[in-house]
Chain A
């Protein structure tokens, strides 16, 4: 079940629903990943990215407390941090510039999250 590739991987979780964020964090902690966050808001995510702390991967909910998370996605792209969208939206709400970003459609099982994140690693 666990994914060794994620060992010590520093993963940012941006997800506004507490229960979902907690589940993602719990699943990834089982893989011995280091969880950054989780953060529920765009501003929180941006300040974390801008803090200079090392981020290896990110899981990003498209809608964070009513705001679209695309500024966060742009910041991640700028920092060359690979990430996946976790979303309840269909693809059409996501701008074309993020066409190559993997999407995890909610609800998803921890296995799918793990394989999606693993595929992002170099």
Chain B
């Protein structure tokens, strides 16, 4: 309570003191008066005595002639006269004293009356004030209470009773602390004790149980009331219901925690911005990815982490976003760890208030580098596929035309074209079955082709066939198809007219790697047929129509830069192919 509230009490005390003083002085005045009365009565009694004595003396027979008064009579009269005069003086004094006494008494009565009236007024005012205060105390929604200087609660407003369902007797002293939540009680009481010891303001949040047994959060504030000397007279406390705010705030905090956990857990780089791309915040992922601090990313700092070629584009996107209300940027962002830029797709949406005014922008930047790389790779692959497919169609067209030229009947054509398409199909199969950029190897190609004509064991041996050479010699993909077609023509001719067409025939294929110069790696193949009879005469039209020879002698040198030889020797065909292959230390893949 403030000083104004104390004033009536102090005035009241002061007035009571004054009335007491007045009463004391009145009493002493009355005593004085009584004493004066006693003096007067005593004198009066003596005058009466003297008067009687004088009367008695006069009525006795005159002992002497009346003309001559006796000495005795003269003395008595004199004494009486003196006493009478004394009496008169006393009576006058008494009358004066009495009159002033009456006056004082009257004044005193007036003052007492005045003071009494003042006290009455003040009491009325105090009563009215107290009533007002009590009304107000019961009117406010807060729980109010008061305790003495030692902390013993001695007054509670009605709300306390209404809220807790307890009466004021139950609340008194320490009773109210039983309504505190068990989890809050110890800390709350400790803080309360500390505040009282220090004489400082107490402010705590804790839960108080209501009449139904539910707890609600309150903000409790208590302040000491001091007298003029600073001594604490009492404590006044108020508990304000803040349950909704507190629970809403806790919900908000949980929501924010979830939001932060989500944002910091997602792989995207998250940011907030205002106006035209002025960042106000970036998530930890931004700093982790770019190496740029959160603070440095603010405003247009983030632009520095963008590829220089993408910056104008990004700012243009921000300008557009002001009209369209959505932001989309494709741009490269620098990655500190790999020391290179990666493709990102950045999207932003405006955050609007309930009045739909734009508050800020919230956005994410998603790493799409792998996708972009894959897309680029896929485009190349699709292009390659088109290229190969259409080239293959052109090759098929050409092979068909040549086969048609070399065929003497439709049956012959059907047989030859079927074999050649099978050979093309086998090599396409080899190429498409490759895994992860592995190259087709020469031994696999040779075995695949020969196996289509004669049975071979795991070591590449057949009844008439010996294969000798290292495994795993990689071929350039561009080499494979033409080489396969050439091998097919050699094998087909051997089966039809050469070493594989006769019991005495033998086919030996040897191959090896040669390194004529540093970094140059060449495959040397020696195809030798032996034990073959009925060979065509030198210079005669080849039995296969010449297509096979054309492939070996012209196509391989033209297309693969190969050096080849083809000869029909006395006991069979002898063919050599010398073609460049990728060196073993060069990377796989390629075309």
Contacts and interface: CB of A to CB of B under 8 A. Distances in A.
A95 interface: no
Given A18-B559, A88-B388, A106-B391, A65 B478 contact: yes
Nearest to B380: A93
Interface stretch (B32-40, B254-262, B274-282, B392-400): B392-400
Interface residues of B, number: 25
Contacts of B399: 19
Interface in A33-75: 38, 40, 62-63, 65-66
A89 interface: yes
B474 to A, nearest CB: 15
A106 B390 contact: yes
B558 interface: yes
B395 A88 contact: no
B319 interface: no
A66 B554 contact: no
A107 B397 contact: yes
A21 interface: yes
Contact of B387 (A20, A38, A40, A89): A89
Interface string B374-418: 000000000100111111011111110110000000000000000
Given A40-B558, A66-B478, A66-B590, A105 B390 contact: yes
Given A88-B389, A107-B393, A16 B559 contact: yes
B393 A106 contact: yes
Contacts of A65: 478, 559
Nearest to B556: A18
A53 B170 CA distance: 120
Given A17-B395, A107-B393, A107-B397, A88 B386 contact: yes
Nearest to A109: B397
A93 B387 CA distance: 11
Interface magnitude class on chain A: 20 to 34
A101 interface: no
A18 B481 CA distance: 11
A38 to B, nearest CB: 8
A18 B554 contact: yes
B468 interface: no
B551 to A, nearest CB: 8
B396 to A, nearest CB: 8
Nearest to B485: A19
Nearest to A19: B398
**Max chain A Cβ within 10 angstroms of own Cβ: one of B383, B397, B398, B399:** B398
B401 A17 contact: no
A40 B478 CA distance: 12
B45 interface: no
Contacts of A108: 394
A66 B554 CA distance: 20
Nearest to A18: B555
A63 B384 CA distance: 10
Contacts of B386: 88-90
A66 B589 CA distance: 12
**Max chain B Cβ within 10 angstroms of own Cβ: one of A65, A88, A105:** A88
Contacts of A63: 387
A22 interface: yes
Interface in B458-494: 478, 482
Contacts of A20: 391, 394-395, 398
B515 interface: no
B591 interface: yes
Interface of B: 383, 386-391, 393-399, 401-402, 478, 482, 551, 554-555, 558-559, 590-591
The 8 A-B residue pairs whose C-beta atoms are closest, nearest first, are A88-B390, A18-B555, A19-B398, A88-B387, A107-B394, A106-B390, A107-B393, A66-B591
Given A88-B391, A92-B383, 11 more contacts: A17-B395, A18-B555, A18-B558, A19-B395, A23-B394, A23-B397, A23-B398, A65-B559, A87-B387, A88-B387, A90-B386
5 contacts: A17-B395, A19-B394, A20-B395, A38-B558, A88-B391
